[in-house]
């Protein structure tokens, strides 16, 4: 007998949290090839679910009392995207559990007024794509999942990029786990320029970050979640605007991996070598301060020639293909 139970973050038992890690940890391990350490993983998960600045639902599926799957959606303040994850342990697949979880997510999201779920699949876990196609999801942008080993970073090249991107009238640096209060308004303006990056046909990719939502995301991921973030930046000293920013997330649950998140050069500042500058600053910072990190992962749109060119010059190579999907939450056939 299959039973779907909601996981309430405030009151969940230790056993329920362990069940959640058993399923989701397995999925992320299959995706990234590195085990997911339970306690840091759960600390981050609880921090997110209890942060109060998101709408979230998380469910566990049990097959005769044994955990078989998990599914969740979350929409954080500052993002239009409703991030959704569904995973069923390999030994329980093709028994309709994934579909039961998806149906439950859709009805809960619909009741909350959320019209669309946003999902993600990786080609080295191929069941996800087949499942979503079967269930009527709309395929969105396809991205290259790239990887660079830190031992392969060309330090001399990174220094040259920093020298070439250092221009009069601009200052640059790397922040660890903070965005200084006096810069947060301008930082958020630059962050929202990610909406100009190629993002294919999907409607719900937009970011609408505010200073408060940014502070909350730092609190959630770093202060309460126990993780680290590096933010490289270039700033126009006259206007105070940020010309380029790039952030790297270091998850405690996968301690040898770094995730390169967004890098953006604001449109009017392009063509100055700032994109390369911020990437190089973060790369050197990683090598110098984070010896435990062995590789950097990133995901780039196949249509984003500028970012791909920088990454290829840095030595990133494609190891996966990532696909983004959208799914309406109205009643499905
Ligand atoms: C995707 C996933 C959640 C599906 O779970 P599941 O419980 O096996 O799915 P269901 O049994 O409900 O499958 C529903 C239908 O999807 C299709 N489907 C699912 N997996 C498939 C596969 N491996 N090959 C072909 N079709 C598949 C089938 O049409 C299936 O119906 P059928 O078995 O009657 O033919 C599971 O394979 C998984 O955990 N994969 C890794 C995580 C992931 O990629 N998640 C998706 C993105 S969030």
> Cα of 128 to ligand 1 centre, how many Å?
6
331 vs 314: CA distance, rounded Å: 46
DSSP assignment of 151-164, as one string?
Answer: GG--HHHHHHHHHH
Pocket around ligand 1: residues whose beta carbon is below 6 Å from it?
27, 85-88, 93-99, 119, 121, 125, 127-128, 130-131, 134
Q: What is the CA radius of gyration of the chain?
A: 20
Strands (E), 204-256: 228-236, 242-250
Tokens of 20: 């959640």
**Distance (Å) of CA 45 to CA 25, 50, 54, 80, 82:** 11, 9, 13, 20, 16
What is the pLDDT at residue 332?
62
> Cα of 203 to ligand 1 centre, how many Å?
25
Q: Report the nearest-CA residue for atom 33 of ligand 1.
A: 94
What is the pLDDT at residue 316?
96
Residue 292 has pLDDT above 70, yes or no: yes
> What's the mean per-residue pLDDT of the chain?
94
Per-residue pLDDT band at 302 (split at 50, 70, 90): confident
Q: At 139, which helix (H) or strand (E)? A: strand 138-149
What is the pLDDT at residue 202?
56
DSSP reduced 3-state for 17: helix
47 vs 306: CA distance, rounded Å: 35
Based on the number of CB atoms within 10 Å of its own CB, is 249 exposed (0-12), middle (13-18) or buried (19 or more)?
A: middle
Per-residue pLDDT band at 197 (split at 50, 70, 90): low
Instruction: Name the percent of the chain lying above pLDDT 90.
Output: 86
Domains defined for the chain, CATH in brackets? 2-142 (3.40.630.30), 146-321 (3.40.630.30)
Residue 36 has pLDDT above 80, yes or no: yes
Residue 51 has pLDDT above 80, yes or no: yes
Reading across the β-sheet that carries 66-76, which strands appear in turn? 2-6, 54-63, 66-76, 83-88, 116-122, 317-328, 138-149, 295-301, 257-265, 242-250, 228-236, 170-176
Instruction: Name the percent of the chain lying above pLDDT 70.
Output: 96
> Cα of 179 to ligand 1 centre, how many Å?
41
Q: Which of 94, 121, 332 to mutate to test the pocket of ligand 1 (most atoms within 8 A of CB)?
A: 94
What is the rounded average pLDDT of the residues 285-297?
A: 97
Query: Can you tell me which atom of ligand 1 is nearest the CA of 93?
Result: 8
Query: Of 31-35, 41-45, 74-78, 262-266, which has the strongest mean pLDDT?
Result: 41-45
What is the pLDDT at residue 150?
97
Task: Name which residue leads in pLDDT, 202 or 45.
Answer: 45
What is the pLDDT at residue 200?
61
What is the rounded average pLDDT of the residues 59-73?
A: 98
Rounded to whole angstroms, the maximal C-alpha distance in the chain is 68
What is the pLDDT at residue 196?
74
Q: Which of 98, 125, 133 to mutate to test the pocket of ligand 1 (most atoms within 8 A of CB)?
A: 98
What is the rounded average pLDDT of the residues 88-114?
A: 97
Per residue in 152-177, pLDDT tens? 999 999 999 999 999 999 999 999 99
Query: Can you tell me which atom of ligand 1 is nearest the CA of 71?
Result: 48
Contact predicate 123/90, CB 8 Å: no
């Amino acid at each position: 007998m299959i039973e779907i139970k909601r996981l309430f973050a405030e009151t969940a038992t230790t056993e329920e949290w362990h069940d959640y890690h058993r399923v989701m940890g397995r999925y992320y391990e299959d995706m990234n090839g590195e085990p997911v350490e339970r306690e840091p993983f759960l600390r981050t998960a609880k921090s997110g679910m209890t942060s109060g600045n998101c709408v979230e639902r998380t469910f566990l599926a049990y097959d005769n009392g044994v955990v078989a799957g998990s599914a969740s959606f979350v929409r954080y303040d500052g993002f239009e995207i409703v991030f959704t994850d569904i995973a069923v342990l390999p030994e329980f697949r093709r028994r309709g559990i994934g579909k039961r979880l998806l149906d439950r997510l859709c009805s809960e999201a619909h009741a909350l007024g959320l019209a669309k779920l946003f999902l993600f699949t990786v080609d080295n876990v191929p069941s996800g794509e087949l499942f979503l196609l079967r269930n009527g999801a709309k395929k969105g942008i396809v991205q290259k999942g790239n990887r660079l080993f830190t031992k392969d970073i060309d330090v001399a090249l990174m220094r040259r990029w920093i020298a070439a991107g250092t221009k009069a009238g601009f200052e640059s640096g790397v922040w660890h786990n903070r965005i200084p209060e006096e810069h947060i308004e301008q930082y958020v303006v630059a962050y929202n320029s990610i909406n100009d990056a190629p993002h294919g046909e999907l409607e719900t990719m937009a970011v609408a970050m505010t200073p408060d939502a940014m502070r909350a995301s730092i609190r959630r991921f770093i202060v309460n979640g126990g993780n680290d973030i590096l933010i490289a930046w270039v700033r126009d000293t006259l206007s105070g605007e940020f010309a380029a920013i790039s952030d790297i997330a270091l998850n405690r649950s996968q301690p040898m991996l770094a995730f390169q998140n967004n890098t953006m050069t604001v449109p009017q500042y392009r063509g100055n070598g700032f994109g390369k500058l911020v990437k190089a600053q973060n790369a050197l910072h990683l090598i110098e301060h984070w010896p435990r990190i062995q590789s950097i992962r990133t995901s780039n749109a196949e249509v984003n020639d500028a970012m791909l060119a920088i990454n290829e010059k840095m030595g990133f190579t494609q190891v996966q293909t990532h696909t983004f999907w959208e799914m309406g939450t109205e009643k499905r056939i």
